[in-house]
């Protein structure tokens, strides 16, 4: 099995930007979606999927160059990658380590999975609000309809 | 308090206090006394879905207390059909009224309306979600018959899967340590997440398909209609339609003070022969919708119900 260091080197070190490591295997694309990184993004983005990890078995890694993600942006990832390690890189060195915080409520990150929920009307203007009922295991409930969310379905409902 | 969206908005003590208020308001609800506690106040009735009892009893409750009512009218001719959001509708009605009673086909609509409004919202049913004013009138009816809520054995029968009434009531009865029996065809069992939630709150639950064997030591039998409109498949409906048909002949060995309730409308789950028995309470239950809603309107509008209603009111 390759070492963790080896897997990190699959992509060259970045000069400035953000590295998100320890993303659960297969979730990197969702993470990109949640961060609003898509075909309109002009900065270089590197993506490594399904690499061996001592801690996780397999994991995904994302490197975004020339962009420092904010705490608010990172907190959106709490639903899919709550244990990801995030490093802000400046001049090839780790300038800052950040952790993802799951607050008491997840606001305007995902839509409720209940198809008959009032929030399923895209024209309704109030924010999408999911309350954190439990952290371990992660359990969320819609503020409006009270439905406990199916986490597998939920990541498909990213706003 | 704000509005009443789910029964969780009320503590057990508040529930009892509201039932006490309702009890005192009975002569006003019956039209024997005039007590204009809500004079000058306006209720907005926003029924985005058909309703007979809930809408009419809200209107009666408000008018018996000297208040007035404005109605949304037929949804088909209102601005809703032009694509107005619930948020915008609420902004408008919020400006016209002091309190809003609402029924909406979508779950979560009542909470959403409350978050959009300054005035209190009374949830009169949101999709398959909650219907707390129905629960309050059900609790009132049970307490009226048994003098208490605690420790009763309540059989809920029929469509336990789709009926929001039985969902809300089960939660409330669990808070008062009642023993619950869920009698339904396999296809219409109480949803698993609700049973798990009730169990986690210490509920004593028996589930069965055999209603008749569970009746003799029951204090309350709460029948529900099997709702044809919930089935997309006629064959599936045919399998469960008429699963229970309570007849007066089935009541020979039940407790003398057992009551039979039903949120109405009924189809054939309670035979008319039951109507004349001492157990039938469904028509009183429907009437109790007025008195329970009177007490709730007062509570949410911050108006105290006098301790001596007879003294404060005037004869009609």
Taken in order B265, B19, B165, B104, is the CA torsion positive or negative? positive
Residue found under tokens 């088909």: B76
**In this structure, what token pair is assigned to residue B250?**
């089935």
| Chain B nearest C-alpha distance from A135 (Å) | 18
Eight-class DSSP state of B20? H
Same domain as A86, residue A135? no
The domain boundary residue, chosen from A60, A82, A98: A98
pLDDT given for residue A9 in this prediction: 62
The residue in chain A having the minimum alpha-carbon distance to the alpha carbon of residue B197 is A148
B223 contacts B262 by C-beta, under 8 angstroms: yes
- Those residues whose C-beta lies under 8 Å from the C-beta of residue B47, and which sit 6 or more positions away, are B54, B55, B71, B72, B75, B102, B103, B124
- Whether B208 has a pLDDT exceeding 50, the answer reads yes
Last residue of a domain, one of A98, A129, A145: A98
Residues B270, B260 contacting (CB under 8 angstroms): yes
**The pLDDT value given to residue A1:** 45
Residue of A nearest to B90 (CA): A124
B53 is catalytic: yes
Same domain, A119 and A80: no
Calculate the average pLDDT of chain B: 94
CA distance B68 to B301: 14
Q: Best residue in A113, A120, A144 to probe B by mutation, most B CBs within 10 Å? A: A144
In this structure, are A89 and A125 located in the same domain?
no
Interval A126-134 mean pLDDT = 95
Neighbouring residues of B101: CB distance < 8 A, sequence distance ≥ 6: B43, B44, B45, B46, B54, B55, B58, B121, B122, B124, B133, B293
Domains (range + CATH), chain B? 7-131+289-315 (3.40.50.1370), 133-285 (3.40.50.1370)
Q: Determine whether B153 is an active site residue.
A: no
Assess whether A65 and A93 both reside in one domain.
yes
State the pLDDT confidence band at A93, using cuts at 50, 70 and 90.
very high
Distance from CA of A148 to the nearest CA of B (A): 9
Percent of chain A with pLDDT over 70: 94
CB A106, CB A127: distance < 8 Å: no
Report d(CA A17, CA A32) in Å as an integer. 15
Whether the CB of B8 is below 8 Å from some CB of chain A: the reply is no
Rounded to a whole number, what is the largest CA-CA distance in chain B? 59
* Interface pTM, i.e. ipTM: 0.88
Site of tokens 């009541």: B251
Indicate whether A28 and A79 sit together in one domain: yes
Domain boundary among A49, A65, A98: A98
Q: A140 and A67, same structural domain?
A: no
Predicted local distance difference test score (pLDDT) of residue A8: 53
Q: Do B109 and A142 touch (CB under 8 A)?
A: no
Cβ–Cβ below 8 Å for B86 and A121: yes
Q: What is the CATH number of the domain that holds A131?
A: 2.30.30.20
Based on the fold, state whether residues A92 and A117 are members of the same structural domain.
no
Tell me which DSSP letter residue A44 carries. -
B255 a catalytic residue: no
B108 touches chain A (CB under 8 A): yes
CB of A120 within 8 Å of any CB in chain B? yes
Active-site hit among B53, B153, B167, B299: B53
Asked if B130 is an active-site residue, the reply is no
d(CA B58, CA B36): 15
* C-alpha to C-alpha distance for B107 and B183, rounded to whole angstroms: 25
Instruction: Using a CB–CB cutoff of 8 Å, tell me whether B109 touches chain A.
Output: yes
Torsion of CA B300, B306, B309, B311, to 10 degrees: -150
Say yes or no: A12 and A86 in one domain. yes
In the residue annotation, B103 being an active-site residue is answered as yes
Taking each helix axis from N to C terminus, what angle separates B12-24 and B132-146, rounded to the nearest 10 degrees? 70
| Chain B CB within 8 Å of residue A114 CB | yes
Query: Which chain A residue's Cα is nearest to B105?
Result: A116
Say if residue A88's pLDDT is above 70. yes
Q: Considering CB atoms only, which of B85, B107, B130 is closest to A117?
A: B107
User: What gap in Å lies between CA A120 and CA A140, rounded to an integer?
Assistant: 17
Domain count of chain A?
A: 2
The Cα–Cα gap between A149 and B35 comes to 47
Residue B240 pLDDT class (50, 70, 90 cuts): confident
- The active-site residue, picked from B55, B130, B131, B293, is B131
- Distance between CA atoms of A137 and A152, rounded to whole angstroms? 13
Q: What percent of chain B has pLDDT over 70?
A: 100
Q: Which among A33, A30, A25 has a CA at the least distance from the CA of A60?
A: A25
Q: Which residue bears the tokens 């029951």?
A: B218
Q: Do B112 and A118 touch (CB under 8 A)?
A: yes
Q: Are residues A84 and A136 in the same domain?
A: no
3-state secondary structure of B57: helix
Sign of dihedral through CA atoms A142, A146, A148, A152?
negative
Domain extent for A141: 105-157
Do A22 and A74 fall into the same domain? yes
B48 touches chain A (CB under 8 A): no
Q: Which of B24, B54, B97, B164 is catalytic?
A: B54
- Distant-in-sequence contacts of B226-230, Cβ < 8 A, 24+ apart: B226/B158, B226/B159, B226/B188, B226/B267, B226/B269, B227/B159, B227/B162, B227/B163, B230/B159, B230/B162
Contact B107 A126 (CB under 8 A): no
Q: Are residues A22 and A66 in the same domain?
A: yes
CATH number at residue A13: 3.30.70.140
Instruction: Tell me the mean pLDDT in the region A96-119.
Output: 91
Nearest beta carbon to residue A126 from set B106, B107, B116: B116
Straight-line distance from the first to the last Cα atom of chain B, in angstroms, rounded to the nearest whole number: 32
pLDDT in tens, A26-64: 999 989 988 888 889 899 999 999 999 988 899 999 999
Does A78 share its domain with A152? no
Angle (CA) B157 B146 B248, round 5° = 45
Does B156 touch chain A if contact means CB atoms closer than 8 Å?
Answer: no
Neighbours of B153 (CB within 10 A): 18
Contacts of B107 in chain A (CB under 8 A): 114, 116-118, 144-147
Q: Which of A118, A121, A130, A139 has the most B C-beta neighbours within 10 Å, making it the best mutation to test the interface with B?
A: A118
- Cα(B285)–Cα(B155) distance, integer angstroms: 16
């Amino acid at each position: 099995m390759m070492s963790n260091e080896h897997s990190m080197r699959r992509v060259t070190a970045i000069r400035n930007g953000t590295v998100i490591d320890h993303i659960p295997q297969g979730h990197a694309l969702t993470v990109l979606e949640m961060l609003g990184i898509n075909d309109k993004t002009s900065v270089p983005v590197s993506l490594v999927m399904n690499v061996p990890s001592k801690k996780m078995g397999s994991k995904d890694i994302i490197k975004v160059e020339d962009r420092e993600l904010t705490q608010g942006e990172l907190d959106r990832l709490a639903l899919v990658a709550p244990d990801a390690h995030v490093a802000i890189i400046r001049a090839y060195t780790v300038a800052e380590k950040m952790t993802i915080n799951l607050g008491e409520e997840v606001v305007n990150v995902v839509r409720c999975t209940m198809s008959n929920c009032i929030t399923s009307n895209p024209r309704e203007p109030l924010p999408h609000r999911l309350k954190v009922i439990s952290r371990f295991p992660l359990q969320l409930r819609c503020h409006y309809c009270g439905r406990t969310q199916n986490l597998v379905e939920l990541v498909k409902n990213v706003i | 308090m704000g509005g009443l969206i789910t029964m969780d908005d009320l503590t057990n003590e508040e529930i009892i206090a509201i039932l006490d208020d309702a009890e005192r308001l009975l002569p006003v609800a019956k039209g024997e006394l005039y007590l204009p506690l809500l004079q000058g106040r306006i209720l907005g009735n926003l029924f985005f879905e058909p309703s007979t009892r809930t809408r009419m009893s809200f209107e009666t409750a408000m008018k018996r207390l000297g208040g007035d009512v404005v109605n949304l009218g037929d949804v088909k001719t209102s601005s809703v059909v032009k694509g107005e959001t619930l948020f915008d509708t609420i902004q408008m009605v919020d400006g016209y009224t002091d309190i809003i009673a609402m029924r909406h086909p979508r779950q979560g609509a009542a909470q959403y309306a409350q978050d959009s409004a300054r005035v209190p919202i009374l949830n009169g049913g949101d999709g398959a979600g909650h219907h707390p004013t129905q629960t309050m009138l059900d609790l009132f009816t049970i307490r009226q018959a048994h003098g208490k809520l605690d420790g009763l054995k309540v059989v809920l029968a029929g469509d336990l899967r789709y009926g929001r009434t039985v969902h809300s009531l089960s939660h409330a009865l669990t808070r008062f340590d009642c023993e619950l029996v869920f009698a339904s065809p396999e296809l219409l069992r109480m949803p698993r997440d609700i049973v798990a939630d009730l169990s986690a709150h210490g509920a004593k639950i028996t589930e069965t398909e055999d209603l008749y064997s569970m009746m003799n030591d029951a204090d309350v039998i709460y029948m529900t209609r099997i709702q044809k409109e919930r089935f997309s498949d006629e064959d599936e409906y045919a399998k469960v339609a008429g699963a229970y048909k309570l007849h007066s002949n089935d009541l020979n060995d039940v407790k003398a003070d057992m009551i039979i309730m039903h949120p109405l409308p009924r189809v054939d789950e309670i035979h008319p022969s039951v109507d004349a028995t001492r157990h039938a309470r469904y028509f009183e239950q429907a009437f109790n919708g007025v008195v329970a809603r009177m007490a709730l309107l007062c509570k949410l509008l911050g108006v105290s119900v006098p301790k001596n209603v007879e003294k404060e009111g005037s004869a009609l």
